Structure 1
Amino acid sequence: MRYTIEELQHMPEGQTFDCKSIHIDPKALATTIIAMANADGGMIAVGISDKTRRIEGIDQDKVHLNEILRTPFDFCVPTVNVVTEYIPCIDCNGSENHIMIIHVPASPRLHANQADEVFWRVGDKSRKLSFEERLRLMYDKGERYYEDSPTYNASLEDIDMDVVKAYMERIGYGKTAMEYLTENKGFVTYKDDEPQVSAACILLFGKRPQTFFPRARVRFIRYVGTEEKFGREMNVIKDVTFEGRILDQIQKTVEYLETQVKEHSYLGENGVFRTDREYPKFVIQEMVVNSCCHRDYSIKGTEIQIKMFEDRLVFETPGKLPGIVRTDNIRHTHFSRNPKIAEYLKAYDYVKEFGEGVDRMCRELKAIGTREPQYNLVAFIMKATVYANLVTERHDIGGYGYVDTIVSEPYFEKGQERGKRRAREGQDYILNIIEANPKISISKLAKECGLSVKATRIVLDGLRKKGLLIRVGPDFGGYWKVKGSDYSL
């Protein structure tokens, strides 16, 4: 997007925009470029005073301008590949001049200045990172991997060699288990003749991984309703934790989630049985695998949490999106925070093709009429939300089709035409009963339709929301009024 001079002059400085005078010291400018490149990228307008917002321009100082142009090469390590753009203007002296726009891309690499200082853009400031913050940024950008770091106090005795051998057999490796661990992926290295066992080794092959990584586990929490409540209103009905090696966690979690997903099989058209599910099987597995495979294991204070509500599943995974992955490119961009763990899971067919999973999830969800997963970062937790295809038990109501115990607008609007037809027929049947007996009680209506009272209330609420049915008078002593049958779902 090309901005006007007026827009640039009045644009507030922030995470992705800054103004700099033409007199800026190149080393100081490098700090801003480095901070933006390490974070979300941004744009720097050179020639507009950051203090007074006067339009100074750049044409009057060609020598200093050349120094500024060399800043990404001379003062950034490694070089930041910026793009420059020139916008004509009238400067504060009334002369024709130019403003230079430096477009700084979000970089997949970690950048420092000549003094080996690393900066990160926070709001309108460039903040110097501590050693621990710098290390975490290196993990995020894939310049170093936490999974390769030595596990404190772990020894060879903590490795289950039978699990290593089982994996070797699966990938066709013919040497000994120790040769595999030391010669291939650096699972075991030596320092001063002392074995160093990596985090990946413990997480994949450890006898008791939670001894070293207590929160490297998956916790499943199921709630009544659509919101998380606390205190006296706490609505948790299931709370289960899965531990062990990563492969064990994935298998146990996926198996358990399958017991929690609602599905209904019924005889469809042409005498073929059809099964409707809240969530496709692939989506369940892929979300669990992604959480275990891509979580930031250097964050030790919390576990992966999977929260199930009546209308959605929320996967809360410690760690930001890794590397160059962003919420707007996650569907087609692959970057693994833990490549050794990802490769291991691929051998067990939990990772099909690198980078294919999210796109396939989106396609499968679209096929059943639900939107693609939504991602948002809260502090250091990445939350991925998968919305349910609201399907519950269907009840045959005497040859008039089926009525769902949950009436879902998105389901009817985006579902298959057959589902729409059956829903219309079922609703027509209920409306006909009410029209014949406006004072009918909900319990009697439920009995006549073959539904539960709760399901009947839900259906009636749906009809009222559509404007097809209104309640006249109180719950006791009032009556129903059908407003008409000319409607569409």
Structure 2
Amino acid sequence: MRYTIEEIRQMPEGQTFDCKSIHIEPKALANTIVAMANADGGMIAVGISDKTRRIEGVNQDKAHLNEILRTPFDFCVPTISVTTEFMPCQDSEGNDNHILIIHVPASPRLHANQADEVFWRVGDKSRKLLFEERLQLMYDKGERYYEDSPAYDATIEDIDMDAVKAYMKRIGYGKSPMEYLQENKGFLTYKDDVPQVSTACILLFGKRPQNFFPRARVRFIKYYGTEEKVGRDMNVIKDVTFEGRILDQIQKTIDYLETQVKEHSYLGEDGLFKTDREYPKFVIQEMTVNSVCHRDYSIKGTEIQIKMFDDRLVFETPGKLPGIVRTDNIRHTHFSRNPKIAEYLKAYDYVKEFGEGVDRMCRELSAIGTKEPQYHLVAFIMKASVWANLLEEGQEKTISDQKRPESDQISDRISDQIKMILELIKEKPQISRSEISHKMGLHESSVKRRLKMMVDKGIIQRIGSDKGGYWQIK
């Protein structure tokens, strides 16, 4: 993705971005490069002050610039294969200048600085690892890049180039789809002139990914009660599987889960509609994305399973917690088992910022009085349990009689039909009575009466004509 100088100046430092003064010592810069290579990779802008964001440029000190360019080779062990580019700019003194952009790849190897210290990127900091953490990271580096391994028997014909084009448009890449696949992320490589299509390429852009990875899918199972029963006592009431490319799986899974989450809608004392949910929307999305993004795709015997009980959701994902992530540090520690898949999902806004999702999820659950997710490993399956915000009868009360006259009162309990009409209007303000009738299975005359009641009560209003107008929720 191409950025302007001003966009880089405004970019917050974080897991995958840092800016450094031209005066930084190569030994200090090496720590940042090592930390990014050991984690998710990233971009470093040299020539912009990290404290004041003043554009210094790099042209004025050629000798020091050469030392900086040699940092990945002279101060990183083993050498890190960065790529560099010079962006023209005007420095703070008004002179024509350049800033140096260093692109650091996420590396399958463990890297250290010259003093044999290993660093790890945590948010906007480069943290030195303890011996035990370093050892664990060294072990996990061996499994990390299964996404780069060739998908057996896959050819270029198995790639949906329209899906590649859609992603290129998303990230602002201007070349052809084939050039993107060959020049970026190792999606398409060659061995003895034979194309090698990577696992990540098939999972993200494949026409039929399940032809190569049959269990790379999500299965949703809903149970009656709070326990999973089998045999004569089997209590499964829904069993749905979602396949396709990773983006399709995530979208379908989240959309379906939303239909299964219980809600209670009511009018608050401020006269506005309020909705209490079993699970916050962000929690549903984050848990689904984490499962699909961080699963171990080398485990081929099972799929991701999401199990819904009366009191909790359980996300069962093949693979243990990756890297140095542990149950006691998961809230603030990040490691991508599949960094290319994670970067792809970030472009589609499913990953906001590496490492922030679990913390935000815990805060949202705490805000509704629900405990943090619980993680435990059973064999090779990581199970994450999210507890429901149990909604009690009578919770959905509206304004009291003392505060509003009788003529303005709305029933204490908004009917499921009225709530569904409101949701349909939110999704499509131009929706017609016949469309609402079809989607809800109600006679059109019943829909007409309910719409009239909602207009009379000031809940909605019609803007424009019956044919060309639209509904507005007041």
On whether the aligned pair clears a TM of 0.5, the verdict is yes
Amino acid at match of 2:258: E
Amino acid at match of 1:266: Y
Identity score, percent: 78
Amino acid at match of 1:105: E
- Cα distance in 1 for partners of 2:217, 2:355 equals 24
Residue 138 of structure 2 is aligned to residue 107 of structure 1: no
**Does the Cα contact within 8 Å between 1:262 and 1:392 map onto a contact in 2?**
no
Change (3 A) 1:325 1:396: closer
Residue equivalent to 1:358: 358
- Cα distance in 2 for partners of 1:396, 1:184 equals 55
Secondary structure of 1:390's counterpart equals coil
Amino acid at match of 1:227: E
Change (3 A) 1:110 1:326: closer
TM-score (norm 2): 0.56
Change (3 A) 1:203 1:356: same
Amino acid at match of 1:158: D
Measured against aligned partners, the alpha-carbon deviations of 1:279-308 in whole angstroms (never above 9, x if no partner) come to 000000000000000000000000000000
Amino acid at match of 2:152: Y
**Does the Cα contact within 8 Å between 1:139 and 1:337 map onto a contact in 2?**
no
Residue equivalent to 2:319: 319
Secondary structure of 2:317's counterpart equals strand
- Cα distance in 1 for partners of 2:335, 2:131 equals 21
Structure 1 window deviating more from structure 2 (268-277 vs 320-329): it is 268-277
**Does the Cα contact within 8 Å between 1:304 and 1:318 map onto a contact in 2?**
yes
Measured against aligned partners, the alpha-carbon deviations of 1:212-267 in whole angstroms (never above 9, x if no partner) come to 00000000000000000000000000000000000000000000000000001111
Change (3 A) 1:366 1:239: same
Measured on the aligned residues, the alpha-carbon RMSD in Å equals: 2.7
Change (3 A) 1:198 1:335: same
Change (3 A) 1:319 1:403: farther
Amino acid at match of 2:292: C
Select the structure of larger CA radius of gyration: 1
- Cα distance in 2 for partners of 1:330, 1:400 equals 48
Secondary structure of 2:134's counterpart equals coil
Measured against aligned partners, the alpha-carbon deviations of 1:437-483 in whole angstroms (never above 9, x if no partner) come to xxxxxxxxxxxxxxxxxxxxxxxxxxxxxxxxxxxxxxxxxxxxxxx
Residue equivalent to 2:335: 335
Residue 376 of structure 2 is aligned to residue 349 of structure 1: no
RCO higher in structure (CA 8 A, sep ≥6): 2
TM-score (norm 1): 0.54
Q: Report matched runs for 1:112-261 at 5 Å.
A: 137-140=140-143, 142=144, 145-261=145-261
Residue 407 of structure 2 is aligned to residue 380 of structure 1: no
Measured against aligned partners, the alpha-carbon deviations of 1:400-447 in whole angstroms (never above 9, x if no partner) come to 99999xxxxxxxxxxxxxxxxxxxxxxxxxxxxxxxxxxxxxxxxxxx
Shift in Å, 1:78:
9.3
Change (3 A) 1:192 1:276: same
**Which segments of 5 or more consecutive residues in structure 1 lack a partner in the other structure?**
1-76, 83-102, 112-133, 405-489
Shift in Å, 1:271:
2.0
- Cα distance in 1 for partners of 2:213, 2:345 equals 19
How many residue pairs are counted as aligned between the two chains? 281
**Does the Cα contact within 8 Å between 1:108 and 1:324 map onto a contact in 2?**
no
- Cα distance in 1 for partners of 2:398, 2:247 equals 45
Shift in Å, 1:269:
1.7
Measured against aligned partners, the alpha-carbon deviations of 1:378-398 in whole angstroms (never above 9, x if no partner) come to 000000000000015537699
Amino acid at match of 2:333: T
Shift in Å, 1:109:
5.6
- Cα distance in 1 for partners of 2:111, 2:165 equals 42
- Cα distance in 2 for partners of 1:313, 1:403 equals 30
Residue 311 of structure 2 is aligned to residue 296 of structure 1: no
Change (3 A) 1:366 1:157: same
Change (3 A) 1:78 1:205: closer
- Cα distance in 2 for partners of 1:257, 1:160 equals 27
Measured against aligned partners, the alpha-carbon deviations of 1:77-105 in whole angstroms (never above 9, x if no partner) come to 999989xxxxxxxxxxxxxxxxxxxx952
Amino acid at match of 2:356: E
Amino acid at match of 2:342: A
**Does the Cα contact within 8 Å between 1:159 and 1:202 map onto a contact in 2?**
yes
**Does the Cα contact within 8 Å between 1:315 and 1:383 map onto a contact in 2?**
yes
**Which segments of 5 or more consecutive residues in structure 2 lack a partner in the other structure?**
1-109, 118-129, 403-410, 414-474
- Cα distance in 2 for partners of 1:370, 1:187 equals 41
Amino acid at match of 1:320: K
- Cα distance in 2 for partners of 1:197, 1:273 equals 51
- Cα distance in 1 for partners of 2:190, 2:317 equals 32
- Cα distance in 1 for partners of 2:147, 2:305 equals 21
**Does the Cα contact within 8 Å between 2:267 and 2:398 map onto a contact in 1?**
no
**Does the Cα contact within 8 Å between 2:266 and 2:412 map onto a contact in 1?**
no
Change (3 A) 1:139 1:258: farther
Amino acid at match of 2:274: R
Change (3 A) 1:154 1:379: same
Shift in Å, 1:272:
2.4
Secondary structure of 2:174's counterpart equals coil
